[in-house]
């Protein structure tokens, strides 16, 4: 039985939960409460998990030996008692955990079905990887819930391979979700060190206990992250690898500087506006969560530290404070690479996203904090690409050409990577793409030979970005050949989501402009009218109306 077969079998168990009246969005949370107990038992039996093992009264056999109402009551009490465990990590995992199952026969069926799975195959492939597969299945199948926290595995792996984390480095994710970035970084390091056997005892302990740290705002998602990390052999400190808190508040401010930061911050505007972003160490005040996270990330890197962050298009071109933050980033960091991602790979399909790669300081002087960016390499993986989704999955094969362009030599040193880079990549039929010459003043193709104009991989100088783009990073030069063909348009819901996303961002910028002009009262009145028009009358006039 393959890992995919086991994941599908686990997912099918959700039909049992549905019969017990449990919401679709609660499927995975309910299932993993049981699944973790089973996986912990299998890991402990195989000698793979010693620290943080569950107490004897909470082991899997205690459930298989009971039935009926006795089983249901025992399980409910077990969850409550685990939340009070003296082991702080186990207590954190089971804080506020409770089952919504009401029928003892449904709980018995779940336990019986979990017991019937070929756990030998699961152990061979890695119980942690199996757990990851279930989370990914939930993200792909559901319209809400974990989908909004899940970054495509192919993208996570590509970002980690480009950043190349090393043993002994502190690796951070301030928007950890289910800890996908941290787990991928751990897997990469294990692959480079023969599962840590190449490291001495002190270095092994560092990797297990101190190398990784994340922050997650949502308690239920943090629970999934803690389980996920523990099943991958990542323990962290007394609070686990992923701490509960707000990276844009005191929890983020207290984080020590990191060698590597990998993140996909949540989309949207902070509830309550700027007031909900309580950090007083961020230079530029903003209600835009991505801009606030971006500040945290580049300010939170050690000299020479490396960052890779997924950001929506509005961060690339937003005026005002957005321009100031981009300039500050390019001053303090060497912003060397921008990957324009295709549409449809995230939960919010209408949002166009990118990945920024940068290092703190320069190659020559990691402590430099002025004029660090000299040029920016851009890879366009969006133009003339399909709209990805369930029918057209986004895979690692789509990112391989970018990875080769990013690091054309087998070197961990950024200086050697940059020196070996050459413009030009024509993957995915790029030779057939027309160049966009609509705006001569912004023409990125001026003075470039015809063949290079259709390349997906181009280099732009810092001076050109400043003088021609006004420090906007919304750099495009290719024209989608199918952009006007109706038969090639995305699904209507994707188009509508994209339009609404752009309209929301425009309204938010107008709201900021009204505030800057001292017209807050008029802006508040307009937001109240908008809230009433959208049926959000209860939120009208509050700071949580997202204009």
If phi > 0 it is left, if psi is from -120 to 50 it is alpha, else beta; for residue 270 that is beta
One-letter-per-residue 3-state SS of 154-199: HHHHHHHHHHCCCCCCCEEECCCCCCHHHHHHHHHHHHHCCCCCCC
According to the model, what pLDDT value does residue 179 have?
92
In angstroms, the Cα distances linking 172 to 169, 175, 220, 373, 429 are: 10, 9, 20, 23, 37
According to the model, what pLDDT value does residue 326 have?
97
Q: Write the burial class of residue 256 (CB in 10 Å: 0-12 exposed, 13-18 middle, 19+ buried).
A: exposed
CA atoms of 400 and 264, how far apart (whole Å): 20
Q: Which long-range contacts (CB under 8 A, 24 or more apart) does 445-452 make?
A: 445/477, 451/424, 452/423, 452/424
CA atoms of 246 and 275, how far apart (whole Å): 13
According to the model, what pLDDT value does residue 277 have?
83
CATH number of 3-140, picked from 1.10.3470.10, 3.40.50.300, 1.20.1260.30, 1.10.287.950: 1.20.1260.30
CATH class of the 153-249 domain in this structure? alpha beta
Angle at CA 137, nearest 5°, toward 2 and 58? Answer: 80
According to the model, what pLDDT value does residue 545 have?
31
3-state secondary structure of 6: helix
Tens of pLDDT, residue by residue, the chain (547 residues): 677 777 788 778 877 887 777 765 577 778 878 888 988 888 787 776 667 888 999 999 999 999 999 999 999 999 999 999 998 889 988 998 889 888 999 899 989 988 887 766 665 555 566 767 777 776 666 544 444 447 888 999 999 999 999 999 999 999 998 899 999 999 999 999 999 999 999 999 999 999 999 999 988 889 888 988 888 889 999 889 999 999 999 999 999 999 999 999 987 665 554 546 888 889 999 989 999 999 999 999 999 999 999 999 999 999 999 999 999 999 999 999 999 999 878 755 567 899 999 999 998 999 999 999 999 999 999 998 987 877 788 899 999 999 999 999 988 899 999 999 999 999 998 877 766 544 333 455 556 666 788 899 999 999 999 999 999 999 999 887 655 444 455 566 666 776 777 777 677 777 777 776 777 777 777 777 777 677 665 443 333 333 3
CA atoms of 395 and 388, how far apart (whole Å): 10
In angstroms, the Cα distances linking 134 to 31, 183, 249, 485 are: 10, 15, 31, 37
Q: How many residues are given for the chain?
A: 547
The tokens describing 412, both together, are 């961990």
Instruction: Let me know: does 227 contact 32? Beta carbons within 8 Å.
Output: yes
Query: Pick from 269, 268, 287: which is nearest to 277 by CA?
Result: 287
Q: Which residues contact 70 (CB under 8 A, 6 or more apart)?
A: none
CA atoms of 106 and 68, how far apart (whole Å): 10
According to the model, what pLDDT value does residue 491 have?
62
According to the model, what pLDDT value does residue 437 have?
45
According to the model, what pLDDT value does residue 42 have?
82
Q: pTM of this prediction?
A: 0.82
Sketch the domain layout of the chain as residue ranges.
3-140, 153-249, 493-539
According to the model, what pLDDT value does residue 438 have?
40
**β-strand pairing of 478-479 with 434-435:** antiparallel
């Amino acid at each position: 039985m393959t890992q995919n077969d086991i994941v599908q079998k686990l997912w099918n168990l959700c039909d049992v939960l549905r019969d017990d009246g449990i919401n679709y969005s609660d499927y995975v949370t309910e299932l993993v409460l049981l699944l973790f107990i089973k996986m912990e038992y299998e890991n402990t039996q195989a000698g793979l998990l010693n620290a943080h093992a569950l107490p004897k009264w909470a082991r899997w056999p205690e459930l298989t030996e009971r039935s009926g109402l006795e089983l249901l009551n025992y399980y409910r009490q077990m969850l409550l008692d685990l939340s009070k465990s003296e082991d702080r990590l186990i207590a954190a995992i089971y804080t506020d955990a409770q089952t919504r199952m009401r029928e003892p026969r449904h709980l018995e069926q779940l336990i019986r079905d979990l017991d019937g799975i070929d756990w030998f195959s699961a152990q061979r492939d890695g119980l942690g990887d199996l757990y990851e597969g279930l989370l990914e299945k939930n993200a792909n199948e559901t319209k809400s819930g974990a989908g909004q926290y899940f970054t495509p595995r192919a993208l996570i792996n590509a970002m980690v391979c480009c950043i190349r984390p090393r043993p002994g480095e502190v690796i951070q994710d301030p928007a950890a979700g289910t800890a996908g970035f941290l787990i991928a970084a751990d897997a990469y390091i294990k692959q480079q060190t023969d599962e840590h056997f190449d490291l001495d005892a002190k270095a092994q302990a560092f990797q297990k206990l101190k190398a990784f740290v994340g922050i997650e705002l949502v308690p239920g998602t943090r629970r999934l992250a803690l389980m996920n990390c523990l099943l991958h052999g990542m323990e962290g400190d007394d609070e686990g690898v992923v701490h509960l808190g707000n990276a844009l508040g005191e929890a983020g401010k207290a984080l020590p500087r990191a060698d590597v930061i990998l993140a996909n911050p949540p989309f949207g505007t902070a509830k309550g506006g700027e007031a909900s972003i309580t950090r007083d160490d961020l230079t530029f005040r903003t209600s835009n969560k991505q801009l606030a996270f971006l500040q945290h990330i580049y300010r939170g890197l050690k000299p020479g530290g490396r960052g890779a962050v997924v950001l929506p298009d509005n961060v690339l071109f937003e005026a005002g404070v957005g321009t100031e933050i981009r300039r500050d980033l390019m001053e303090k960091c060497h912003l060397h690479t921008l990957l324009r991602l295709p549409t449809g790979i995230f939960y919010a399909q209408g949002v166009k996203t990118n990945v920024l790669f940068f290092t703190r300081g320069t190659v020559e002087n990691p402590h430099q904090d002025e004029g660090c960016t000299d040029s920016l390499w851009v890879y366009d993986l969006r133009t003339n690409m399909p709209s990805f989704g369930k029918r057209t999955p986004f895979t690692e094969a789509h990112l391989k050409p970018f990875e080769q362009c990013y690091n054309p030599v087998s070197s961990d040193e950024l200086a050697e990577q940059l020196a070996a880079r050459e413009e030009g990549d024509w993957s995915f039929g790029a030779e057939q793409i027309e160049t966009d010459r609509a705006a001569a003043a912004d023409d990125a193709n001026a003075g470039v030979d015809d063949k290079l104009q259709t390349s997906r991989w181009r280099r732009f100088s810092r001076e050109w970005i400043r003088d021609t783009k006004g420090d906007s990073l919304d750099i495009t030069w290719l024209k989608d050949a199918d952009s006007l063909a109706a038969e090639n348009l995305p699904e209507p819901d994707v188009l509508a989501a994209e339009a609404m996303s752009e309209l929301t961002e425009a309204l938010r910028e107008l709201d900021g402009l009204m505030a800057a002009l001292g017209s807050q009262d008029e802006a508040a009145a307009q937001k109240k009218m908008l809230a009433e028009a959208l049926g959000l009358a209860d939120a009208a006039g509050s700071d949580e109306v997202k204009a």
